[in-house]
Structure 1
Amino acid sequence: MALTPGDGAARRVVVVGYDDAELLDIACVTSTLDLAGRIAERTLYRTELVSPNGRTIRCDSGVQVHSNGSLQRTTGPIDTLVVSGGQGHEAAAAEPTIVAHVRRLATLSRRVASVCTGATVLAAAGLLDGRRATTHWHYADVLARRYPSVHVDPRPIFIRDGRVATSAGVTSALDLTLALVTEDHGPDLARIVAQVLVTYLQRPGNQAQMSVFTAPDPDHVLVRQAVAHVTTHLATTLDTATLAAHCGVSPRQLHRLFVEHLGMPPGRFVRRTRLDTAARLLSTSAHPVGMIARWCGFTSLETLRQAFVAQYGVSPSQYRAVSTALPAGTES
């Protein structure tokens, strides 16, 4: 079937791997692009996996993947350069050869992207200087401290800043790659690719990484729409009237649907989602408590404190002290 416009040449995509890269970071990109071509019944992307000196890549799971060529010998032109993430990202970012050739190939590419902690390599190459970027939420604080010229935002699942795109943890590479397919060949093809992959098509780049853990999946389409809006817009006004207007129903109808399908009214769901997200950010990041309060839609640090005392019997800073998985930040 001819779902894509025109008969242009296949787009060349170069994926950079290294020892202890994450296999899913590589496969989410390469398999999605390959599937797009098979569905369109013509070669849309010519994908190459390259590594330092063309060595076999030992992924952090222990699986070994053969590369298609040497990073050092790869030349342009390139449509899209993608740097994988994985446990070896810090070692890769500290390797001058890898950094220098990623920087070189970026100048030969129409657009540049990273998956998960691959952002560390882009940052080391200076490709994120002055840009807004994301990475896996667990590593966002380290990236921000190490590269202060990068505007790190740990909330979205992917960010496009000019010709450079960065994505969050692992499977967010699917979201980024589907967005690239949409950009290149239109939404119809991307929609079918998503269906075959049994994944979401329109999970927008600005969806919060934390919402993946806190959002329920109700059966009712309108309630699902409202839940998606809440979890991706926590910092905005989310009273029942505003949420009902967004969904095109009356506040009374929205209240009835929430109670029927979620067992609680909209206001309680919003408060719970804000508190759950704040709790997760407190225990998994070093962001200042005041910043977390703003991101999650609490009007003040005191409002957040009251919510935590009511729910957990401790203040946000005390909650962080006993549950943190990363060094705690300071309240502001």
Structure 2
Amino acid sequence: MSRRRIGFLVFDGVKMLDFAGPAEVFVEANQTLDAYEVVPVSADGREVGTSIGARVSVACAAHEAGWFDTVVIPGSELAPREFVTPELLEAARSLAGRTRRLTSICSGAFVLAELGLLNGKRATTHWKFTRELAQRYPEIRVEPDPIFVRDGRVFTSAGVAAGVDLALALVEDDHGADAARAVAQSLLVYMQRSGGQSQFSASLSGPAPRTPLVRAVAGLVWADPAHPYTVQELASLGGVSVRHLTRLFRADLESSPAEYVAYVRFSVAREKLDAGCTVTESATAAGYGTSEAMRRAFVARLGISPRKYQQRFRSTLRSA
């Protein structure tokens, strides 16, 4: 069986782990399968500088690279408007027409988006970029929570470690679960988390309040999420009118006070489930009146019940 060629389009400022993590999955698979050829390419065939300062040599320029089974476009710590250059876009366009599968890691999704390759499709990226992706490209159905999303031949993933999850999923597609499990065990990582699994690290990483008054009110909610807050009470605690508090929350966090309370409760409930608490215990700690109320919140945000969410998380831990 001939090796599948996996092309990585790298560029100055590429995030090293977005490139090296998935690449190592395919290289590790070769220890038992001899199934992949990893081929880094750049827009002009020159070596590139990475996020950690190391330089990476490439095999050739993108337009000279030939046919690939899979093309991977990593992301960058640079803002998308900085690293998504005309040269990178032209290289990506060329590769997209010469591959069976097209994938992006983290903010690499902005390259596919700018080319229109995600229009009408479900897609994700790192949680800190999902809002920008949705605002700049309204034709894309951005899903902020999954660690990776597949829509047809196009795969998009969240940042850094999620690229490893995606690469393991591709190995499983190609050679089965046993092959992917062997790679995961060799690399000492989880047998890939389900693509629908939440970007767990984002549970407490919503926008940080900047305004002192909003920060103070938000701190009160985090300190006692089980309290039955009303907007009137929060305004009173802040010493302002409901209208003024709502205006401050909208300007600072792009949400209403009530929406922020709901966000805090959901985050607390999810953390409790991750820690092994029961659904009832998590609902109580987070301020949901009943387990059913918490179930509705989880289904609305994640599309799954709290129990299924917890089972998925635990099965990931067991499969390491």
Indicate the TM-score class for this superposition, using the shorter chain for normalisation. 0.5 to 0.7
Instruction: Work out the number of aligned pairs and report it.
Output: 229
User: What is the distance in 2 between the residues matched to 1:84 and 1:211?
Assistant: 20
Q: What is the one-letter code of the residue matched to 2:155? A: A
Match of 1:117, SS state, is helix
Match of 1:123 among 91, 109, 113: 113
Q: CA deviation at 1:92?
A: 3.2
Cα 1:184–1:270 change in 2 (3 A) is farther
User: What is the distance in 2 between the residues matched to 1:58 and 1:270?
Assistant: 48
Q: 1:182-331 to 2 correspondence within 5 Å?
A: 182-210=172-200, 262=276, 265-270=278-283, 272=285, 294-295=300-301
User: What is the distance in 1 between the residues matched to 2:149 and 2:83?
Assistant: 22
User: What is the distance in 1 between the residues matched to 2:89 and 2:44?
Assistant: 14
Contact 2:63 2:95 in 1 (8 A): no
Contact 1:92 1:121 in 2 (8 A): no
Contact 2:63 2:94 in 1 (8 A): no
User: What is the distance in 2 between the residues matched to 1:24 and 1:274?
Assistant: 38
Q: CA-atom RMSD, angstroms? A: 2.9
Contact 1:29 1:174 in 2 (8 A): yes
Q: CA deviation at 1:273?
A: 6.9
Contact 2:127 2:202 in 1 (8 A): no
Partner of 2:5: 12
Residue 148 in structure 1 maps to residue 135 in structure 2: no
Partner of 2:218: none
Q: What is the one-letter code of the residue matched to 2:281? A: R
Residue 45 in structure 1 maps to residue 36 in structure 2: yes
Partner of 2:23: 30
User: What is the distance in 1 between the residues matched to 2:298 and 2:127?
Assistant: 13
Partner of 1:134: 124
Q: Give the gaps of 5 or more residues in structure 2.
A: 205-265, 289-296, 304-320
Q: Deviations over 1:25-48 (max 9, x none)?
A: 1111111101001133xx201111
Match of 2:81, SS state, is helix
User: What is the distance in 2 between the residues matched to 1:9 and 1:38?
Assistant: 15
Q: What is the one-letter code of the residue matched to 2:42? A: S
User: What is the distance in 1 between the residues matched to 2:56 and 2:169?
Assistant: 26
Structure 1 stretches of 4+ moved >6 Å: none
- Identity level (%): 38
User: What is the distance in 2 between the residues matched to 1:163 and 1:134?
Assistant: 15
Q: What is the one-letter code of the residue matched to 2:17? A: L
Q: Deviations over 1:81-133 (max 9, x none)?
A: 1101012443332x222212212211211010001110011111111111000
Match of 2:14, SS state, is coil
Cα 1:62–1:269 change in 2 (3 A) is same
User: What is the distance in 1 between the residues matched to 2:153 and 2:299?
Assistant: 32
Contact 2:46 2:61 in 1 (8 A): yes
Partner of 2:59: 68
Match of 2:14 among 7, 16, 21: 21
User: What is the distance in 2 between the residues matched to 1:87 and 1:53?
Assistant: 21
User: What is the distance in 1 between the residues matched to 2:8 and 2:193?
Assistant: 23
Q: What is the one-letter code of the residue matched to 2:173? A: E
Q: What is the one-letter code of the residue matched to 2:35? A: L
Contact 2:62 2:94 in 1 (8 A): no
Q: Deviations over 1:49-80 (max 9, x none)?
A: 1112122211122221112211232232x100
Match of 2:150, SS state, is strand
Cα 1:104–1:294 change in 2 (3 A) is same
Q: CA deviation at 1:265?
A: 4.4
Partner of 1:113: 103
Q: CA deviation at 1:155?
A: 0.4
Q: Taking structure 2 as the reference length, what is the TM-score of the superposition?
A: 0.65
Q: Deviations over 1:152-206 (max 9, x none)?
A: 1110000000000000011101110000000001111110110111111141000
Cα 1:130–1:274 change in 2 (3 A) is farther
User: What is the distance in 1 between the residues matched to 2:120 and 2:7?
Assistant: 24
Q: CA deviation at 1:270?
A: 4.4
Match of 1:46, SS state, is strand
Partner of 1:250: none
Match of 1:168 among 150, 158, 164: 158
Cα 1:36–1:146 change in 2 (3 A) is same
Contact 1:84 1:117 in 2 (8 A): yes
Match of 2:178, SS state, is helix
Contact 1:103 1:127 in 2 (8 A): no
Partner of 2:47: 56
